[in-house]
Amino acid sequence: MKKIILSAALLSGASLNAYSQISAGTVSIGGGVNYGRSTTKNEIPPATVGVNDNYTSSSLSIQPIASYFISENLSIGINTGININRYKQAQFGRYNNPSQFFDRTYNRKERVVSLGPVARYYRFINDKFAVYGQLGAGYTNNYFSIHDYDYFNNSVIVSNNGRSQGFYANFSPGITFFPVKKIGIELSVGGLNYNCVTQKKDGFRSSNSYFYTNFGLSSLFLGGSIYLGRS
């Protein structure tokens, strides 16, 4: 009886071990998406001297990824990113002079495209869940436009556009749920990031490099992958 129980336990453990891995030669195709929007209103009573401020910002990020497993649970591949950010500030009010009104709208739009290699390693918790660490680096290109308009005086305050480019590096942890062996549902909540970008315009050149962390719900990415060839 003891031999039967021991054999069953060994077979169960072997089955779990065989399931809880992604073998070399597997190809994964997928990606993640993040969207955020915030609105802030600062209003004053009617006929009061002062300025009403309304802020609206939105961000959409899509990150497709394709990878090849070079060994068990370790993949390398290509990661792309498309980020679209919008910011709007609307101000309306009046100064001490009752006839002098203030009506101004500031808009900023930004599009960021990135491309680079990525490596990811999975560590299985059980036969359905795995945590992973993802390391990436590559090229980034940022296009932005700014338009600041005074409606009361019918005049443009600032109208400008530009482009910056450089490189990035990041590390992001996450978790993957496998409802079936060849489909994974992924969740990540930010990571460690480094960016170095340079902007050139009209003979001027400016460079900016920064390191930051962005753990939290505002950096939550929800995605999924298909694991082709996983046995």
Query: What are 22-77's pLDDT values in tens digits?
Result: 999 999 999 999 998 888 887 766 666 667 778 899 999 999 999 999 999 999 99
The CA-atom distances, in angstroms, between 83 and each of 22, 39, 112 are 30, 19, 5
Tokens of 222: 């929800």
> Which residues lie below 8 Å from residue 43, measured CB to CB, with a gap of 6+?
52
Stretch among 11-25, 155-169, 207-221 having the lowest mean pLDDT: 11-25
Residue 218 pLDDT class (50, 70, 90 cuts): confident
Asked if 170 contacts 140 with a C-beta cutoff of 8 angstroms, the reply is no
Q: Does an H or E element contain 3, and which?
A: helix 2-19
DSSP state of 128: S
Asked if 102 contacts 95 with a C-beta cutoff of 8 angstroms, the reply is yes
> Which residues lie below 8 Å from residue 29, measured CB to CB, with a gap of 6+?
65, 66, 225, 226, 228
- What is the tens place of the pLDDT at every residue in 120-147? 999 999 989 999 999 999 999 999 898 8
* Residue 11 pLDDT: 44
Tell me the CATH class for 2-228.
Answer: mainly beta
For the chain, what is the radius of gyration of the CA atoms? 25
User: Burial, 136: exposed, middle or buried (Cβ in 10 Å; 0-12, 13-18, 19+)?
Assistant: buried
Asked if 102 contacts 76 with a C-beta cutoff of 8 angstroms, the reply is no
Q: How far is CA 191 from the centre of its chain?
A: 10
For residue 141, what are the β-bridge partners? 113, 165
pTM: 0.77
Region 100-121: what's the mean pLDDT? 89
- Per the rule left: phi > 0, alpha: psi between -120 and 50, beta: everything else, 85 is beta
pLDDT at residue 4 greater than cutoff 50? no
Arithmetic mean of pLDDT over the chain: 84
- Comparing 210 with 180, which gets the higher pLDDT? 180
Q: Which residue has the tokens 């609206």?
A: 56
